[in-house]
Structures are given as structure tokens and as C-alpha cells.
Amino acid sequence: MDIQYRMRGGIPLRGDVQISGSKNAALPLIAASVLTCGETVLHNVPRLRDITVMLRILEFLGAETSFQANTVRIRTHKLKNRHIPSELVSKLRGSIVLLGPLLSRFGEISMAYPGGCVLGKRPVHAHIAALEQMGAKDLSSDEMLHLTGALKPGRVILPEFSVTATENAVMAAALVPGEVRIDLAAAEPHVQEVEKIVAAMGAQVEGIGTHTLLIRGQKTLQPRIHTVIADYLEVGAFIIAALVTKGKMRLHGADPEHLISFLNVLKRMGAIVKIEDGVLFVDGELSLLKSLEVRTNIFPGFPTDLQATMGVAMTQAHGVSRIFERLFEGRMAYLYELEKMGAHIEILNAHEALVIGPTPLRGRMVSSNDIRAGAAMVLAGLCAGGETTITDVRYIERGYDRFDEKLRSLGADIEKIVIEEQKAQDDDALPSLREDNKSVPTGTTR
């Protein structure tokens, strides 16, 4: 199935928007459910394809799931240890977060290598290194990941500030009696969510939100009810949308503490962004954007996932802006798409570029290179003159819940075009939900 967005830009966006739950938080929280033998309930879960894929993986392992009205229920009392095949994980990089909890629960994990967006080299060595330091034996081959062994307490020094490797280490340690120390841990808000849920389940966790964690696990953990945090990456996208269209917007549900570096950059750039009665207010009409330098970094630094959207804002800023991408060498590809639209850009190397503005953008046919680049192209289309067509929208819809609908509610002229010829083939790429899976009862276990 091919999905495209067709849009006409130049319309100031105005109104209120409710921010959806964070996919990057929801996926590891779903994975954390396998640490227990009861029912885990997650509220404020975004309705995204990646969430559905993760639930199908758990169903393949014997879990019972339901997903209604942004609430996910997962019962894992019948969970089984099975090899997870490529057709389930090849399109979901986030499935890597099952490695730690399944190994810790069953003493063995075997799965095909996860897929997802191509953002340069994203190897799994940090995950394996963390689990090996806890006593796991790596039997992986070129075809699959395969780890075995009873995990033990001790010290884990991560080879890099990897978000998903930190989440795997935290969830693995939660079922290990004794103390596990994790150094060089990532501290992003969605990592903190994993630390908070395993603490609520019964593990003792010290250092939440820091780069050094102390976890005292328990042999048995209890399922919990948890509300997923708002998606701060969606917040960033809508803020930029208001700025580049010279509109006015109120964002509900956002947590400014998740965006301290991003909001500070916007303030220095000349953007008017305020917090009024717990609501983020953006005034793009009165904002006068000026050039600046941005360097992505680990949290609480400037998020790499907002680098592309900031690149669009730079095309509308006065002067020469500079982007340094520290984390992924594949993150600059969207700049070539912006050049098609008339942006004045000088790519210096795989990690550095200059953006000269302000430049009027023109509608063109452009593509989504990944989730965040796709969102950036939508923002470019919103402020471009004429008609823009964005291809490969499936990337965008993996990360943004009802993005086009929310934009239309703000006045954007955007429509989704679905080319149905490939629909059957696309649906066959994922196993259907098992017929014998019954809905999860409405009662919850705390």
C-alpha cells in the first residue's frame, strides 16, 4: 500500500491540539509487561502501526492483548518462549527492547534481527554488551540474535548512551535478585518511564533520570496500570508548524521539562513560546526567526529526533544557521529534499550543514527518508507556495498519531491519498491477529 500526503501551503495554522502519547515510551512499556504474570494496563497509547506490530509479537508469544480507546491491556500469564521470526520484527526496530525482559524471564531469547528506519549504522552491540556483563552468553549468528543464561547482579558499563540498550538493561535487571549498577545510562524521558514502571512493579530503582542507575530486582514483579507520557517529539513538530506558517497554536498535554534544550534554542532563535495555565502557546505571527547553531546531543541536550524539523525552521530564519548532527550519519538526507523545494543549503559532511535563510519554499514532490525526516517534509509543505506531494508517508504514520487529521483541524490543506493496489501485499507482511485470542477482561490487576 502506497500512502501519500498532498498539501497546499501558505496557510497560518491556528487552534488547539491535544498531544498524543509517546510511541518511544509505549513500546518499551509494552515490552515491560512480559516481566510479570498478570495484566498490565497502559493508558494514552498512540494508535500507530508500530504499536500494533509489538502487540502482535506478544500475541505470537502467547499473550492476550486488546487495544481500545488508546488503552492497551496485556495479559502474560500464558507467555511462552519462542523464536520470533523475521516477518514480525523486520519492520520494527523497537522490537529490540524485548531482548532484555524475555531473556530475564525465560533465561533465553532467540529472535531475528529487528528492522525499522535506516539512520546510518545502528548495531546491537550495546544491547549484547550490557546483557553479557550480567552473565548472558551470546550465541547469535548472522541470521538471528540468540542469548542464553541466568542473569546475575553486578556492574554494567554501557559502551554508549543508547536509549534502547539502557531500557533493555533496566528491564533485564528488574528480575535479577541483588544489585545491578548501570553506568553511562541514557536519561531520555521515555527511558525514565521504563525505570518508573519497573519500580512500580516492585524493583528498587535509584538514579531515575540520571546516567547511573542502581537496580535491586525481585524474582517476581507485579503488573501495574500506567499512563504513557505525551510525545515531546510531536510537541516539537507542532511548535515548528506554528512558527513556519506564522500561525498561533495552543498545545495541550505537553511537558516543557522534556524539551528544555529545544525550547531554549527556540527562545534564542526569536520564537515566542509561552506556558499559560499548563498549556504551551506558540505565536508564530509575532515571532521573527534568526539564524543560530544547533548541536544534537543526548538528553537533556537538543534531541536528534527534532533536528530535521529544526532544519525546516532554519530555512525561514534570517542569516546562516549551522547544524551539527552528533549521533547518526544518515540524518542529513532530508536536506536534499528541502533543496528540491528551493532551500539554500550547503552540506559540509555527513554530520554538518549550513542553512541560509530566509528562503521561500516551493511545492514539489518529495519523499520521507525516515519518520522524523517525513515530518519535516510535512512542515516544509505547510509553509511552501503551491502544491507539495509527500511520498512514503508510511514512515510518518509510524511515529505520529493522526498527524494529517490534527493538521486539518488547525486549518491545513492536507489530504491523504491511499493507493490500494499494494494493500493486500502489505497486509500479508504481518501475521493477522490470532482467531482464538479472546479479548482481555475489563478488570485490572494492580
| pLDDT(32) > 90 | yes
Q: Rounded to an integer, what is the distance from CA 213 to the centroid of its chain?
A: 22
| pLDDT(423) > 90 | no
> In this structure, what is the dihedral angle of CA atoms 125, 128, 129, 135, given to the nearest 10 degrees?
-170
Which of 25, 99, 117, 373 is catalytic? The answer is: 117
* The two domains 2-20+230-425 and 23-228 share their CATH topology (first three levels equal): yes
Over residues 157-177, the pLDDT tens digits come to 999 999 999 999 999 999 999
DSSP codes of every residue in 425-443: HHHHTSPPPPTTPPPPPS-
Domain boundaries, the chain: 2-20+230-425, 23-228
Return the SS3 of 234: helix
Q: Is it true that the peptide bond before 223 is cis, omega within 30 degrees of 0?
A: no
Q: Which CATH architecture is the domain 2-20+230-425 placed in?
A: Alpha-beta prism (3.65)
- Cell numbers 494492580 correspond to what residue? 446
Per-residue confidence (pLDDT) for residue 327, from 0 to 100: 85
Q: Which CATH architecture is the domain 23-228 placed in?
A: Alpha-beta prism (3.65)
Band of the pLDDT at 421, cuts 50, 70, 90? low
Q: Which helix (H) or strand (E) holds 246?
A: none
Cβ contacts of residue 209 below 8 Å, gap of 6+? 187, 192, 195
Tell me the three cell numbers of residue 6.
498532498
Band of the pLDDT at 133, cuts 50, 70, 90? very high
Cβ contacts of residue 264 below 8 Å, gap of 6+? none
117 is a catalytic site residue: yes
Which whole number is the average pLDDT over 222-231?
97
Over residues 72-98, the pLDDT tens digits come to 999 999 999 999 999 999 878 889 999
Band of the pLDDT at 369, cuts 50, 70, 90? confident
Over residues 306-346, the pLDDT tens digits come to 999 999 999 999 999 999 998 887 788 899 999 999 999 99
